[in-house]
Amino acid sequence: MKEYLQLQYKMTNRRFKDTGLKPLIAYLILAVGFVGLSIYLFHKTVFAEYIFVFSALTLIGKLSETRRTEFLKICFGNTKLKKIRVTENLISTLPFLIFLLYKQLFLSALLLFVSTTILALVNFRTTLNFTLWTPFSKRPFEFTMGFRNTFYLIFAAYALTVIAVSVSNFNLGIFAMLLVFSTTLSYYTKPENEYYVWTYNVNAKEFLFSKIKTAILFSASLVLPIVIVIAIFYPQNIGILSLFFFAGFAFLISVIVSKYAAYPDEMNITQGILLALCIGFPPILVVLIPYLFEKSENRLSSLLK
């Protein structure tokens, strides 16, 4: 297990070097950025606690990918696999736990700690072999595959909306809407095989517009039920609701163009830092989206002519 963690550390350092940053400087930037964004988040919104915990769980969710877990089980066995997964999860959530303790949010810190451990130890796979129906066509595979893997998060968001209305908590309703947006964002974080891009008989700009149009349309179909319910019960907050609604689409677009700006490689650390800064100061998206869109066109031009 020690050798595996050392390998992950070396691979992370190599990724930093590939972006032109020395590992020590990169870790310093990430630490300062994390603390700064966390302070800003808790200063700006009363439901920062929910966003914080969800962000941590989303981060460790990436480590629970089925193929990755199966590979580790083959290499290390079931006992060592659980030790590795618990260690990875705790390392990943440690900054979040420390900050929650600093803010004296002990219940949230305990909930995050317990959830982190459970997600590492419990296997949620089922032996049933069936295909889950999705409300999306086969053409936009991101939503078809993504929805089947994360449908429980969508239903959880709808349940939170009902709770938000029943306990008169507008902020919880906004969090439920952001949960859906965050879930759909995750559908575009991994690059597909180049063949699936090459099959499109359009130029790079038309391809990107098609991807963005599909993402907005299908995201809206998942988010609108929440928006409508919240708007009906909190008409006085329609302005704030609209602001978060359109900000969600802006972040969705930014992730799509970020993905193809690095294509066929995965999004790099620099892009991740830029997107994190946008969370703290969303107006940056006005400049970032056009820049990444142009970069995406250049990346895709060799495949789409």
> Mean of the pLDDT values across residues 270-299?
81
- pLDDT band with cut points at 50, 70 and 90 for residue 128: very low
Asked if the model's pLDDT at residue 62 lies above 70, the reply is: no
What is the pTM for the complete model shown? 0.65
Closest alpha carbon to 269 in 260, 258, 279? 258
For residue range 14-54, list pLDDT tens digits in order.
877 776 778 888 888 888 888 888 887 787 777 678 778 87
With vertex at residue 253, the alpha carbon angle to CA 250 and CA 257, rounded to the nearest 5 degrees, is 140
Tell the residue number behind the tokens 């993905």, with chain if given.
Answer: 259
The predicted-structure confidence for 65-97, as pLDDT tens digits, reads as follows 666 777 788 888 888 888 888 888 888 899 999
- Mean pLDDT over 55-60 rounds to 77
Q: What is the pLDDT of residue 133?
A: 53
N residues, the chain:
305
The answer to whether residues 72 and 84 touch, using CB atoms and an 8 Å cutoff, is yes
Q: Is the pLDDT of residue 165 over 50?
A: yes
Tell me, what's the pLDDT at 83? 85
What pLDDT digit, counting tens, does each position of 261-276 carry?
888 777 766 677 777 7
Q: Report the candidate in 256, 243, 240, 250 with the shortest Cα–Cα distance to residue 287.
A: 250
Q: Could you state, in order of their start, the residue ranges of all structural domains in the chain?
A: 1-123, 138-305
